[in-house]
Amino acid sequence: MSIGARGIHHIGVSVPDIDKARTFYLDLLGGVELGEPMEWRGNPFIDSVVGLQGSAARQFMCRLGNAHIEVFEYLEPRSAPQNADQGVNTFGYTHFAVQVEDILACYERLLEAGIRVHTPPAMEGISVLPDGSKTGYAATYCRDFFGNVFEIMEIYDDDQVKPVWRAGAAANLPA
């Protein structure tokens, strides 16, 4: 029997430098900050929720289109350094994807900002029909300033990959 989940509210990511993460998620990706940032230290309730003893952290939440991302910098206990080249085949959450309007312009902007992109997007996945409309999608994986993987996608009508956004329309939710 289902637990009754109605959607994904947010994903959480732990980073070594929350100020640099703000630059990435808010300035570069265009996230909109939600509420006041949080900080805690010595909070038994939060320790029990996150499963850490003596935790201390700084946090902010932002909205990216149809989803939220919660970003943490744990000051205590401090994490071991992150492997910025960890393969996406490693068990656990591997990446999140953002839909963009113009993947080539996005790709160039990410390179200018110093973001590592695994490979240029292959535009062969997008077809232009005689009436000028487009079908298909193009995508590529990138890594934020810390090595966390994210995907950029330009999506049109496609049987396999459904867009969450369309120019001039609100968010598209699955039927």
Read off the CATH number of the domain in which 72 is found: 3.10.180.10
Within this chain, do residues 66 and 23 fall inside the same structural domain, yes or no? yes
Within this chain, do residues 67 and 122 fall inside the same structural domain, yes or no? no
Does residue 74 belong to any structural domain of this protein? yes
Number of domains in the chain: 2
Among left, alpha and beta (phi > 0; psi -120 to 50; other), residue 22 is alpha
Question: Hey, what are 155's tokens?
Answer: 């999506």
Last residue of a domain, one of 32, 47, 79: 79
Does residue 152 belong to any structural domain of this protein? yes
Q: How confident is the model at residue 175 (pLDDT cuts 50, 70, 90)?
A: low
User: What integer is the mean pLDDT of 101-125?
Assistant: 95
Task: Decide: 97 and 152 in contact? Cβ < 8 Å.
Answer: yes
pLDDT value, residue 170: 61
Q: Which domain holds residue 150?
A: 95-162
Q: What phi, psi does 143 have (nearest 5°)?
A: -130, 135
Give the model confidence (pLDDT) of 46-90 as tens digits: 999 999 999 999 999 999 988 999 999 999 999 999 999 999 999
Within this chain, do residues 70 and 121 fall inside the same structural domain, yes or no? no
Q: Which of 72-81, 87-96, 151-160, 165-174 has the lowest mean pLDDT?
A: 165-174
In the chain, the amino acid numbered 46 is I
Cβ neighbors of 169 (< 8 A, separation 6 or more) are none
User: What integer is the mean pLDDT of 129-140?
Assistant: 94
Last residue of a domain, one of 45, 79, 113: 79
